[in-house]
Amino acid sequence: MIVIPPIAPIPSISSAIAAGAAQAPSASSGATGGAFQNILGQAIDSLNGVTNNATSVSLDAAAGTATVADATVASSVATLDTQLASALASRAVSSLDSIMNMQF
């Protein structure tokens, strides 16, 4: 019986900001920019890991070493994570557009 590994918890934003703020700021960005960059980088790395896992499990299922259920779950998790990332990116662009269109 193959056991599906648990989904890794999403680190809280405050702990990620604290970790990013603890690093020395670079010459091109402040501490806040560095923290945001770290959070974004971790999220992209996590998404990449989930999609790579889904691909790996799907290939294992095709080879007969994993079940179709495992491949379905991994694929669903990857799809949901990708949809979330896409929705967040769209929302960020929309927010930036709103800020840029503000009258001062």
Query: Where exactly are the structural domains of the chain?
Result: 47-99
Predicted pLDDT at 8: 67
| Cβ neighbours of 74 (radius 10 Å) | 23
- Global pTM value: 0.61
Can you list the alpha helix ranges (DSSP code H) found in the chain? Answer: 13-22, 31-63, 68-100
Per-residue pLDDT band for 32 (boundaries 50, 70, 90) equals low
**Percentage with pLDDT > 90 across the chain:** 46
pLDDT at 50 over 70: yes
For 10-27, the pLDDT digits (tens) are 555 445 545 554 444 444
